[in-house]
Amino acid sequence: MTAPMAYDYIVVGAGSAGCAVAAGLAERQAGSVAVIEAGPSDAHPFVKIPMALMWLMGSRRDWRFKSAPMAGVNGRRINIPRGRMVGGSGSINSMVWFRGRASDFDGWNVPGWSWADVEPAFEEVEAKITPNRLAAPHPLTDRLHRLFGGNGAAPPSPDYESAGVCHFNMRNSRRWSAADAFLRPAASDHDLTVITGRIVRRLHLDKGCAKGVILGGAGEDTVITARKGVILSAGAIGSPDLLLRSGIGPADSVTQQTVVVDGVGQNLHDHPGCGMHFAGAETGYGLTLKQAGQWLAAPLNLMRGRGPLASPTVEGAAFFNARGDGSDPDVQSHFIPFFMNHAGHRYAPGSGYFADVCVCRPKSRGRLMRRNGQLHIDLGLFKDEADLDTLTHGLFRLRSLMADAMGDAAAPEVYPAGAATSHDDMRAHVRANAGTAYHPVGTLRMGTDPDAPVTPTCDVRGVGSLWAADASLMPAVTSANTNAPAMMIGHRAASFIAA
């Protein structure tokens, strides 16, 4: 069937926020809505099976972006996975569910986005997502709550030092993404069309207004008209890039300037993180002779919500102060009860577990731009050395916390272990090994100041009938994982756009 060539609203990107904003518009009967997604559908067993995200990363359902070489990490280019299918990055993520701290939103200082404003929106999102505690965590993950006096019932919180099994957006031990909770129900009940496998190359602009989108593909470009407007939900990399490709952005980053919006692509940041590997006979899930039976039974156990295939890899988290000085948590640790080979071999034999440290509120900022027609993604890691210091201290504290939590089940640390005993060695280790938690945000910051590319009501400044709604709007990253905040932004944006 050929898709109609005109809709009232076109949403670019069926990711975590795009699904929520499209459903919100359709439910309000604001007009016909089309969601255009570059990737395929999410109807693939690896999307549903929690552990299979490790096979989706690096596959054709991942954009597989790479950063520019960054001085802060010894000139390395790091991987930036982003989901490329219906559900977006929410279809390849670990499904850990955190709203963030109330002070994160108050600190944005954007009218309409304080904690008091966003809390009801989180509640509405959660009514559809129903996040819940992991049904059958690995016994090692169940040890985490011993830290900080927790009782194991409540999930850890970025508000205070805490550790334990996380809550997840899973149902019956399967992924339950924004596509499941928002997009499909709205598409079946309302005037909402989902178009997959078509990449939006540029915006169709006329007299300073977005009138539609231009799709690339074999042969000629296709224009799809948006009678009421276009919503950018292509994510923190895709949305600013689409503006730049349409001639909207800072003068030094676009070739054919249509509209000068200086802030586009600025303020890019992510949670910098670095891991610690532990290996010991029959500790975490791994490839050993003794665990062969467990792997053979894994498909059956998945049906019962147990075993390695039912694990979203990250099972638990801890929030703590890196220096242990009694102040608020400034780092988050993700706990993965799987043996992860530190040389990067996917199928190395062994048993063990992994934990990382990520800086909750990084100070460093980078920038996304186009240079000679190429996307240039500088995450700015450790531009501000305070982030490096916090991460370095956090790894030392993680070392002792892991020993306390695992107790008699602890496995020896195998990396960095003896290579990082002094502060200087650990700092060097972080520069040589750090990556991110895969939470890029901030490239279309919301704000009231004229330099903010997006207004508090999600309008792209300087262009009519054009809105943005995704993780790129966050002026500063929240203190934990970003999927829930991205959905909340999409959900809330729908009410502004429909109004």
Ligand X SMILES: Cc1cc2nc3c(=O)[nH]c(=O)nc-3n(C[C@H](O)[C@H](O)[C@H](O)COP(=O)(O)OP(=O)(O)OC[C@H]3O[C@@H](n4cnc5c(N)ncnc54)[C@H](O)[C@@H]3O)c2cc1C
Catalytic residue numbers read: 439
Residue 96 marked as a ligand binder: yes
Q: Please report where in the chains the tokens 């300037």 appear, as a residue.
A: 257
The smaller minimum CB distance to ligand X, of residues 78 and 420, is found at 78
Nearest to 215 by CA among 237, 230, 227: 230
The smaller minimum CB distance to ligand X, of residues 82 and 461, is found at 82
What are the angstrom distances between the C-alpha of 40 and each of 36, 44, 57? 11, 10, 15
Nearest to 247 by CA among 370, 367, 368, 366: 370
Residue list 168-207, contact with ligand X (CB under 6 A): 199-200
Write the binding mask 453 to 472 for ligand X: x where contact by CB under 6 A, - elsewhere: -----------------xx-
d(CA 483, CA 56): 17
Write the binding mask 413 to 452 for ligand X: x where contact by CB under 6 A, - elsewhere: -------------------------xx-------------
The smaller minimum CB distance to ligand X, of residues 452 and 473, is found at 473
Q: How many residues does the chain have?
A: 499
- For 194, the token pair is 């989902």
Residue 258 CB, nearest approach to ligand X (Å): 17
Residue 62 CB, nearest approach to ligand X (Å): 8
The smaller minimum CB distance to ligand X, of residues 98 and 285, is found at 98
The smaller minimum CB distance to ligand X, of residues 124 and 389, is found at 124
Residue 48 CB, nearest approach to ligand X (Å): 16
Number of amino acids touching ligand X (CB under 6 A): 42
| Interface with ligand X (CB under 6 A), residue from 266, 333, 455, 482 | 482
| Interface with ligand X (CB under 6 A), residue from 57, 102, 195, 348 | 57
Q: Does residue 483 touch ligand X according to CB under 6 A? A: yes
H or E element, residue 183: none
Residue 488 marked as a ligand binder: no
d(CA 463, CA 330): 38
Which range, of 251-259, 263-271, 358-366, 482-490, touches ligand X by CB under 6 A?
A: 482-490
391 exposed, middle or buried (CB, 10 Å; 0-12, 13-18, 19+)? buried
Sequence-ordered list of residues with C-beta below 8 angstroms from that of 491, at least 6 positions apart, any chain: 20, 21, 24, 121, 124, 125, 182
The smaller minimum CB distance to ligand X, of residues 132 and 288, is found at 132
Which range, of 122-130, 460-468, 475-483, 491-499, touches ligand X by CB under 6 A?
A: 475-483
- What one-character-per-residue DSSP string does 109-172 give? --TT-SHHHHHHHHHHHHHHH--EE-SS--TTGGGGGGGGG--SSSPP-TTSSEEEEPEESEET
Residue 18 CB, nearest approach to ligand X (Å): 6
Residue 93 CB, nearest approach to ligand X (Å): 3
346 exposed, middle or buried (CB, 10 Å; 0-12, 13-18, 19+)? exposed
d(CA 220, CA 224): 13
- Backbone phi, then psi, for 249, in 5-degree steps? 160, -170
Residue 480 CB, nearest approach to ligand X (Å): 7
Q: Does residue 481 touch ligand X according to CB under 6 A? A: yes
Residue list 228-267, contact with ligand X (CB under 6 A): 233-236, 238, 242
d(CA 417, CA 413): 6
Q: Please report where in the chains the tokens 């991942």 appear, as a residue.
A: 62
Question: What region does 442 belong to: left with phi over 0, alpha with psi -120 to 50, or beta?
Answer: left
Sequence-ordered list of residues with C-beta below 8 angstroms from that of 173, at least 6 positions apart, any chain: 50, 135, 302, 305, 310
Residue 151 marked as a ligand binder: no
Q: Does residue 316 touch ligand X according to CB under 6 A? A: no
The two counts, helices (H) then strands (E), for the chain are: 13, 25
Residue 93 marked as a ligand binder: yes
Nearest to 485 by CA among 163, 14, 20, 13: 20
Residue 19 CB, nearest approach to ligand X (Å): 8
Q: CB atoms < 10 A from the CB of 119, how many? A: 13
Q: Does residue 397 touch ligand X according to CB under 6 A? A: no
The smaller minimum CB distance to ligand X, of residues 396 and 496, is found at 496
The smaller minimum CB distance to ligand X, of residues 17 and 454, is found at 17
The smaller minimum CB distance to ligand X, of residues 280 and 285, is found at 285
Helix (H, G, I), strand (E, B) or coil at 216: coil
Residue list 82-141, contact with ligand X (CB under 6 A): 82-84, 88-90, 92-96
Is the separation of the CB atoms in 478 and 104 below 8 Å?
Answer: yes
Q: CB atoms < 10 A from the CB of 426, how many? A: 21
Residue 302 CB, nearest approach to ligand X (Å): 19
H or E element, residue 6: strand 6-12
Is the separation of the CB atoms in 246 and 365 below 8 Å?
Answer: no
Write the binding mask 10 to 39 for ligand X: x where contact by CB under 6 A, - elsewhere: --xxxxxxx-----------------xxxx
Residue 118 marked as a ligand binder: no
Residue whose CB is nearest to ligand X in the complex, by number: 15
Question: What's 458's DSSP letter?
Answer: S
Residue 220 CB, nearest approach to ligand X (Å): 17
| Interface with ligand X (CB under 6 A), residue from 484, 488, 493, 497 | 484
Q: Does residue 223 touch ligand X according to CB under 6 A? A: no
Cis peptide before 416 (omega within 30 of 0): yes
Under the rule (CB under 6 A), what is the footprint of ligand X? 12-18, 36-39, 57, 81-84, 88-90, 92-96, 199-200, 233-236, 238, 242, 314, 438-439, 470-471, 481-484, 486
Which segments are annotated as binding site for FAD?
A: 93-96, 200
Which segments are annotated as binding site?
A: 93-96, 200
